[in-house]
């Protein structure tokens, strides 16, 4: 095209671009691209056109037919085209944006953009260049345009547009782009240019105001507001809505710059009623007394009279009986009292319990056309008891208020309904429901009674509705389910069927009612009756069943999934979220893997929320292997294109859990480059990922940088500091822990109970229990009350350093002086202390006390008890406790309990029983951890059973000749890969035994083929040398 100089004909370029697109779709050779290099290009074009047309006859035929039909049907109803002043510029190059590829978004300089746009710029006049560039930005969309392209467009406009001006349209687009990409310097420069050229119309000033609010520049925001206030009087469609005023006052309050705001308003003479209204509303919202005092000083110093439009807000802000009476008297003197003022005075009367104000409001109430807001305020006032209860409410509603419709005032409607029910005036209730003709309002009132567990009153509302629909029946049925009245639910369900008003939602709700009672059989019966009625169960039906099953222990989870698939339905993202929600640290590995297979099968049904749930589930289960597999699957499927800070936070946390710091930082940089609004949670995930990977100093530096950033400063909270405190605590660097805590106090960061517990735990880890008393005093000053975790952490500190009697003394003091009662963590901590001190009887008494208190033991409890019994040389008791407790409380032993049983067996030199534990473990589909394999392998070597150790090592790496106790099981391999150091140690141990060199040498050759197993390179040489020495 360039060689034939055809780019001078933009319309021809557009036509050819469409032909090339059609040619590619129909599979024809793109000969049309080649023909322009010769001199006879016109004949070749014709030939190319005919070749394309002949290959697309059916498409062209349908296209022509569609045009004819459209002309015949709609030809006489076409709207005359309106003249667009920019149409002349646009028509000169209607397709220039189509000739650009997506790489245009990544242009890094003005020269790159000029090279691409050279053909178009050569065909238009300078006064049309700005519109061309505006078309470019609008074609791609400002959200897709990066900072480099924005700057390049601006530079091209300066050099090629008439007088170097961007104009209103392009200038507005560039300002929006600069603001979205946080390019404040470029934004300020362009805005000044538009002001000088006279192109800063109100819409442009609105963008500047939003930018000033984003950067929290109060003086600049006030100046922009001064320009916009006159246009705000145009009404709700004005370019600067009153919300910006409210946002300005809110920013000033948050930054402690309210005095600065008032000073800037004085300088700009900004005393408009709308401004005063915004100031007063902020005082109302914040409930800040000193703030109101500053506004009053501003009003008095400027000699401002409260405008009539602001009187109602002023009355609400002051909340003073005398001020309300004064404003009401002024309004009475000026004529009819505005109803919003009457409503405000009524609210003050309610707050101050003033009968005089209440009577004054009633005195000046208009005789007709009372507004719903005014009526609502009076009804709330009457309901408070200033009059005489339910009868007075009905008298006011029927008499003075003329039974005004309260459809928009839910609380007032509820007051009248309650009064009608209490006085057994069902006729009033019926009129009230008739006035609220919308079904949604009637249903909302019904649900409000059900939410208060007043099911009988909900039935009264239902009966008062004259025209009942399926929505009414479903709402009442749902109310019965929420109130757990299955009998009433069955009655409503039967009535709905008799009335012919039962749909899928009706059946789903009765199924939910049965599930809430744990009656899975009745729920399944409801499912069958739905099918018998000719209705098809939906995914919602099964998700309701699945959610109830998961909440009640997940025993029948896979039965529900099987029924769901048998109905031809596939699990969706909600199904996946329910299943993932059921995963916990105690979930069996087999169950976790099975759930993730369902998640993987859902594929494209997974949304960002489901992906985050999956990540959190893997982390809760401690399954780094499954998490890594899922992340690889998502990355392979291009599912990492997230749009929310929450999703990025989950991904950052996942990579931090996997100790993949490179991916942590790349995810962070990607999120920041896309200008996704940062949240405290996302920043917390990033700090946690850095700190938990042994880099608390780097995490602390990130907090310091955030505090220096005006936009990020407000995001820093005690939870984020807590990650750094925890990391320093784990490193037993108590000096840094305490230094960071002192900085939190200096920064006036409100400590949460979690942060305080982290500090107590740090004291316990570092034997700094003497600091606990001062820490508890700081908690008291900040209004943070110790909870059971606080006491458990202190008890843990005493137990770790051998002060068991002090720990039991604190337990008794807690039970005596606080309403707190020990939980599972408290008992487990004390039992662990007993195990450390080898106080078997004391630990067993704690177990009995724990059960008597209604605290259920868990796998962690059993792991501690096994350790206690093992150290007390009571091996059989360890097995008996595990069997008895797990059967009584209906849970399966986890990998940690089995590992402690293995260790107990080895402490008693019973290697065969330890191997039996491994066999049972695998049979129960519990995958061993590295610790279990380490204990067994070293035990076999110590016991002189080299061949057994070799067979077990083969099982760990799925090699032939695996140990018979685990052979053939897919759960034989450990959760994590055995380290090269451990394997080297075991191979050398095998070689040291009689005839062990050959076994070790053969096994070494096979292990060298295992990927990612890093063995000592000199191991082979040492084995050969050992064999030669023995020979």
The pLDDT tens digits of the residues spanning 903-919 come to 999 999 999 999 999 99
pLDDT at 234 over 60: no
Query: Does residue 237 register a pLDDT over 50?
Result: no
Alpha-carbon distance 472 to 469, whole Å? 5
Three-state secondary-structure class, residue 889? coil
- 334-343, 475-484, 510-519: least confidently modelled range: 334-343
Q: What is the pLDDT of residues 657-670, one digit of tens each?
A: 999 999 999 989 88
Residue 93, pLDDT score: 40
Residue 388 phi, psi (nearest 5)? -140, 50
Residue 235 is predicted with a pLDDT of: 46
pLDDT of residue 53 exceeding 70 = no
Measured CA to CA, the distance from residue 473 to residue 496 in angstroms comes to 6
In whole angstroms, give the CA distance from residue 931 to residue 942: 16
pLDDT of residue 13: 44
Query: Rounded CA gap, 518 and 537, in Å?
Result: 20
- Predicted pLDDT of residue 50: 54
pLDDT in tens, 981-990: 998 898 888 8
The yes-or-no verdict on residue 79 having pLDDT over 60 is no
Tens of pLDDT, residue by residue over 161-170, are 777 777 788 8
Cα dihedral sign for 830, 831, 836, 839?
positive
Q: Measured between alpha carbons, how far is 619 from 613 in angstroms, rounded to an integer?
A: 10
Cα 216 to Cα 255: distance, rounded to the nearest angstrom: 8
Mean pLDDT, range 318-345, rounded to an integer:
76
| Sequence-distant (≥ 6) Cβ neighbours of residue 370 within 8 angstroms | 339, 400, 401, 402, 404
Minimum mean pLDDT range among 131-135, 295-299, 742-746, 763-767: 295-299
Six-digit token string for 901: 């049983």
pLDDT, position 161: 77
CA 644, 645, 646, 647 torsion: positive or negative? positive
Q: Does 687 score more than 90 pLDDT? A: yes
Sign of CA dihedral 311, 312, 313, 317: positive
pLDDT of residue 301: 64
44 pLDDT band, cuts 50/70/90, is low
Say if residues 169 and 202 touch (Cβ distance below 8 Å). no
pTM above 0.85, yes or no: no
Distance CA 96, CA 129 (A): 12
- CA distances to 399, 734, 947, 1019, 1021 from 1015, in Å: 93, 38, 20, 7, 12
DSSP reduced 3-state for 554: coil
Q: What is the pLDDT of residues 914-944, one digit of tens each?
A: 999 999 998 888 889 999 999 999 999 998 8
CA distance 1015 to 982: 9
Is it the case that residue 14 has pLDDT exceeding 60? no
For residue 39, what pLDDT is reported?
A: 38
Mean of the pLDDT values across residues 841-858? 91
870-911 per-position pLDDT tens digit: 888 899 999 999 999 999 988 889 999 999 999 999 999 999
Mean pLDDT across the chain: 77
Cβ atoms within 10 A of the Cβ of 781, count? 8
Count Cβ atoms below 10 Å from residue 336 Cβ, excluding itself.
9
**For the segment 610-657, what is each residue's pLDDT rounded down to a tens digit?**
788 888 888 888 888 888 888 888 777 666 678 788 889 999 999 999
Comparing CA positions, the residue from 520, 507, 573, 522 lying closest to residue 551 is 520
CA 793 to chain CA centroid, Å, is: 30
* Rounded-to-integer distance, Cα 20 and Cα 266, Å: 64
Which carries the bigger pLDDT value, residue 740 or residue 545?
740
Which of the four pLDDT bands, split at 50, 70 and 90, describes residue 94? very low
- pLDDT of residue 470 exceeding 50, the answer is yes
More confident residue, 409 or 1010: 1010
Ramachandran assignment for 968, one of left (phi > 0), alpha (psi -120 to 50 degrees), beta (any other): left
Q: What's the rounded mean pLDDT across residues 689-715?
A: 89
pLDDT (0 to 100) of residue 910: 92
Distance of alpha carbon 383 from alpha carbon 381, whole angstroms: 6
Residue predicted with more confidence, 114 or 37: 114
3-state DSSP assignment of residue 207: helix
Please compute the mean of the pLDDT values over residues 102-122 and round it to a whole number.
59
572: left (phi over 0), alpha (psi -120 to 50) or beta: beta
Q: Which of 71-80, 430-439, 749-758 has the highest mean pLDDT?
A: 749-758
Q: What is the pLDDT of residue 91?
A: 39
Residue 105 confidence (pLDDT):
47
Asked if 869 and 875 count as a contact pair (C-beta separation under 8 A), the reply is yes
Strand ranges (E), 807-965: none
Residue scoring higher pLDDT (84 or 510): 510
Q: Name the residue with tokens 């109830």.
A: 548
Report the pLDDT averaged over residues 97-109: 47
Q: What is the pLDDT of residues 749-806, one digit of tens each?
A: 888 888 888 898 888 888 888 888 888 888 888 888 888 989 888 998 888 888 889 8
d(C-alpha 129, C-alpha 118), whole Å: 11
- d(C-alpha 83, C-alpha 158), whole Å: 28
Instruction: Tell me what pLDDT residue 890 has.
Output: 86
The pLDDT of 810-821, averaged and rounded, is 89
The sign one gets for the Cα dihedral 532, 537, 542, 543 is: negative
- For the chain, the straight-line distance linking the first and the last C-alpha, in angstroms and rounded, comes to 84
Identify the residue with better confidence: 1 or 120: 120
What percentage of the chain reaches a pLDDT higher than 90? 13
């Amino acid at each position: 095209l360039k060689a034939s100089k055809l780019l001078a004909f933009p319309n021809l370029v557009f036509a050819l671009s469409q032909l090339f697109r059609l040619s590619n779709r129909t599979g024809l050779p793109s000969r049309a691209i080649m023909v322009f290099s010769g001199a006879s290009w016109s004949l070749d074009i014709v030939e190319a056109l005919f070749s394309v047309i002949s290959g697309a006859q059916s498409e062209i035929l349908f296209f022509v037919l569609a045009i004819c039909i459209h002309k015949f049907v709609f030809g006489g109803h076409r709207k005359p085209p309106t003249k667009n002043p920019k149409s002349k510029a646009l028509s000169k190059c209607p397709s220039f944006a189509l000739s650009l590829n997506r790489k245009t978004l990544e242009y890094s300089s003005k020269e790159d953009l000029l090279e691409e746009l050279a053909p178009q710029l050569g065909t238009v006049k300078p006064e049309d260049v700005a519109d061309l560039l505006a078309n470019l930005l609008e074609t791609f969309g400002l959200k897709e345009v990066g900072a480099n392209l924005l700057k390049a467009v601006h530079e091209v406009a300066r050099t090629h547009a008439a007088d170097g001006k961007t104009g209103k349209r392009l200038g507005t687009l560039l300002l929006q782009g600069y603001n979205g990409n946080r390019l404040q310097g470029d934004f300020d420069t362009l805005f000044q240019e538009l002001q000088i050229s006279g192109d800063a119309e109100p819409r442009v000033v609105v963008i500047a105001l939003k930018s000033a609010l984003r950067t929290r520049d109060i003086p600049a925001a006030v100046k922009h507001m001064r320009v916009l206030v006159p246009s705000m009087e145009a009404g709700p469609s004005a370019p600067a809505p009153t919300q910006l005023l409210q946002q300005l006052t809110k920013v000033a309050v948050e930054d402690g710059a309210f005095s600065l705001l008032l000073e800037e308003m004085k300088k700009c003479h900004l005393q408009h009623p709308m401004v005063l209204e915004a100031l007063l509303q902020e005082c109302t919202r914040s409930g800040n007394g000193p703030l109101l005092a500053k506004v009053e000083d501003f009003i008095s110093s400027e000699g401002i009279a409260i405008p009539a439009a602001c009187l109602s807000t002023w009355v609400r802000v002051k909340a003073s009986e005398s001020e309300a009476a004064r404003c009401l008297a002024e309004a009475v003197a000026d004529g009819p009292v505005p109803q919003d003022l009457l409503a405000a005075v009524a609210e003050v009367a309610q707050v101050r319990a003033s009968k005089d104000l209440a009577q004054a409001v009633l005195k000046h109430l208009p005789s007709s056309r009372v507004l719903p807001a005014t009526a609502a305020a009076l009804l709330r006032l009457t309901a408070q008891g200033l009059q005489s209860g339910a009868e007075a409410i009905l008298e006011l509603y029927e008499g003075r208020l003329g039974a005004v419709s309260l459809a928009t005032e839910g609380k007032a409607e509820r007051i009248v309904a309650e009064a009608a029910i209490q006085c057994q005036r069902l006729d009033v209730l019926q009129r009230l429901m008739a006035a609220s003709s919308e079904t949604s309002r009637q249903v909302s009132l019904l649900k409000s009674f059900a939410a208060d567990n007043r099911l009988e009153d909900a039935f009264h509302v239902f009966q008062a509705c004259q025209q009942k629909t399926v929505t009414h029946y479903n709402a009442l049925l749902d109310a019965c389910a929420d109130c757990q009245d299955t009998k009433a639910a069955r009655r409503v369900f039967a009535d709905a069927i008799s009335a012919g008003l039962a749909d899928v939602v009706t059946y789903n709700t009765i199924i939910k009612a049965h599930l809430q009672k744990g009656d899975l059989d009745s729920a399944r019966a409801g499912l069958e009756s739905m099918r018998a009625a000719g209705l098809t169960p939906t995914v919602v039906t099964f998700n309701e069943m699945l959610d109830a099953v998961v909440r009640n222990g997940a025993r029948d989870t896979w039965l529900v999934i099987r029924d769901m698939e048998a109905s031809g339905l596939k699990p969706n993202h909600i199904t996946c979220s329910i299943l993932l929600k059921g995963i916990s640290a105690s979930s069996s590995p087999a169950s976790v893997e099975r759930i993730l297979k369902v998640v993987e099968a859902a594929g494209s049904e997974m949304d960002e929320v489901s992906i985050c749930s999956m990540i959190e589930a893997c982390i809760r289960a401690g399954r780094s292997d499954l998490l890594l597999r899922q992340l690889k699957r998502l990355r392979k499927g291009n599912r990492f294109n997230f749009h929310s800070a929450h999703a990025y936070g989950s991904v950052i946390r996942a990579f931090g859990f996997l100790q993949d710091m490179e991916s942590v930082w790349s995810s962070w940089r990607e999120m920041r480059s896309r200008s996704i609004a940062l949240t405290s949670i996302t920043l917390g995930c990033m700090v946690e990922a850095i700190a938990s990977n042994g880099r608390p100093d780097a995490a602390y530096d990130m907090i310091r940088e955030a505090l220096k950033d005006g936009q990020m400063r407000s995001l820093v909270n005690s939870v984020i500091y807590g990650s750094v405190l925890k990391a320093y605590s784990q490193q037993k660097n108590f000096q840094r822990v305490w230094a960071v805590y002192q900085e939190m106090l200096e920064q006036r960061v409100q400590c949460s109970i979690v942060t305080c517990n982290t500090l107590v735990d740090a004291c316990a880890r570092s034997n700094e229990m003497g600091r606990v008393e001062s820490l508890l005093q700081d908690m008291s000053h900040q209004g943070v009350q110790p909870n059971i975790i606080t006491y458990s952490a202190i008890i843990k500190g005493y137990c770790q350093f051998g002060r068991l009697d002090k720990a039991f003394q604190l337990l008794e003091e807690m039970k005596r002086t606080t309403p707190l009662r020990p939980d599972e963590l408290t008992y487990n901590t004390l039992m662990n202390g007993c195990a450390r001190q080898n106080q078997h009887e004391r630990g067993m008494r704690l177990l009995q006390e724990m059960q008597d208190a209604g605290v259920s033991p868990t796998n962690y409890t059993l792991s501690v008890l096994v350790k206690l019994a093992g150290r007390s040389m009571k091996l059989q008791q360890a097995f008996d406790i595990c069997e008895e407790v797990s059967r009584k409380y209906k849970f399966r032993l986890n990998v940690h309990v089995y590992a402690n049983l293995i260790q107990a067996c080895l402490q008693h030199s019973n290697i065969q029983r330890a191997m039996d534990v491994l066999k049972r473990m695998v049979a129960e589909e519990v995958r061993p951890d590295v610790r279990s394999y380490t204990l067994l392998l070293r035990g076999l070597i110590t016991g002189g059973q080299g061949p057994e150790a070799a067979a077990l090592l083969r099982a760990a790496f799925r090699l032939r000749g695996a140990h018979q106790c685990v052979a053939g099981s897919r759960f034989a391999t450990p959760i994590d890969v055995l380290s090269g150091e451990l394997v080297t140690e075991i191979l050398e141990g095998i070689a040291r035994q009689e005839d062990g060199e050959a076994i070790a040498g053969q096994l070494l050759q096979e292990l060298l083929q295992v990927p990612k197993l890093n063995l000592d390179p000199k191991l082979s040489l040492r084995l050969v040398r050992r064999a030669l020495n023995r020979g």
